[in-house]
Structure 1
């Protein structure tokens, strides 16, 4: 994974894991790799990975079971809310970028409709 200098690494890792959860790369109830294994996979400092995992746990997306490991939450409402939040963020970013190019919302909607037909 390539990291941007524009945001803290732990936030970028969290975003990557959230997208994996929403897209099905990590399924509800699935065991998450250890913090050490994740740090090695992402090529980051162990403390940075611990912070990312702690925040994901605080958000209720990962649940740690003592002596067993960490798992993706099975809370369907929480997962649906995450999916909606990520979709809203992408939509806002897209609309802002289209507006920066001079497109109105109506032109943007028409363009999306046209692209959807292809």
Structure 2
């Protein structure tokens, strides 16, 4: 994973784990890797993993069973909830950026329609 310099690594990894839940790689009820395993897979310090898991617990995405491990909450609606939260955050950031360049709502919508149309025409699938 390529980390951004201006954003804490533990938050970037937490976001990646959320992404993996949204796309179905991780499912509600799944056991997350141990601190050492996650540290190795992302090549970070085990203390960073503790922060990641604390953040996921704060966000009500995981919980710890003492002596057993950390698990994703058993909420079948979790992937869709995360998907909506992420979509709202990304679109709000995008719109805020576009407004700094004085794009109107109509111009933003037109650009999005153009981009999504070009994507569909270019898809090979």
| Bin of the TM-score, shorter chain as denominator length | 0.7 to 0.9
C-alpha distance after superposition, 1:34-53 (max 9, x if no partner):
11100010000010111111
Task: Say whether 1:19 aligns with 2:29.
Answer: no
Structure 1 unmatched ranges of 5 or more: none
Deviation larger for 108-117 or 19-28: 108-117
Provide the residue aligned with 2:60 in structure 1: 60
- CA distance in structure 2 between the partners assigned to 1:48 and 1:18 by the alignment: 16
- The answer to whether the 8 A contact 1:29-1:72 is kept is yes
Are 2:28 and 2:78, in contact at CA under 8 Å, matched by a contact in 1?
Answer: no
Coordinate RMSD, CA, aligned: 1.9
Contact 2:32 2:69 in 1 (8 A): yes
Q: What is residue 86 of structure 2 aligned with on the other side? A: 86
Partner of 2:52, secondary structure, is helix
- TM-score calculated relative to the size of structure 2: 0.80
Q: Distance in 1 between matches of 2:64 and 2:12?
A: 21
- Structure 1 residue 74 and structure 2 residue 52: aligned? no
Give 1:78 deviation, angstroms: 4.8
